[in-house]
Amino acid sequence: MLEKMNKTKLLADSVADQINDLIKDRQLHPGDKLPSEMELMEALNIGRGTVREAVKILVSRNVLVIKRGIGTFVSEHTGQIDDPLGFNYVEDKEKLFLDTLELRSWIEPNMAKCAAKTASDEQISELKKLCDVIEAQLKENKDHTQADIKFHTLIANCTDNLVISILIPIISVGVTTSISLTQSILKEETIHTHREIVNCIAAHDEQGAYNAMKKHIDENQRCAKKMIQK
Beta-carbon-side half-sphere exposure of residue 50 (alpha carbons within 13 Å): 22
Q: Domains plus CATH for the chain?
A: 6-74 (1.10.10.10), 87-229 (1.20.120.530)
What pLDDT score does 96 carry? Answer: 78
Task: Give the integer Cα–Cα distance in Å for 182 and 105.
Answer: 16
Task: Give the integer Cα–Cα distance in Å for 36 and 211.
Answer: 50
Percent with pLDDT over 70 in the chain: 84
What pLDDT score does 6 carry? Answer: 42
Q: Would you call 15 exposed, middle or buried from its count of C-beta atoms within 10 A (0-12, 13-18, 19+)? A: buried
Specify the 3-state DSSP secondary structure of 7.
helix
What pLDDT score does 207 carry? Answer: 98
**Which of 56-60, 93-97, 141-145, 194-198 is predicted most confidently?**
194-198
pLDDT digits (tens, 9 = 90+) for 111-127: 999 999 999 999 999 99
Task: Please give the sequence-ordered ranges of beta strands (E in DSSP) within the chain, or none if there are none.
Answer: 64-67, 71-74
pLDDT digits (tens, 9 = 90+) for 68-94: 889 999 887 666 555 566 666 667 777
Report the candidate in 136, 111, 139, 122 with the shortest Cα–Cα distance to residue 212: 111
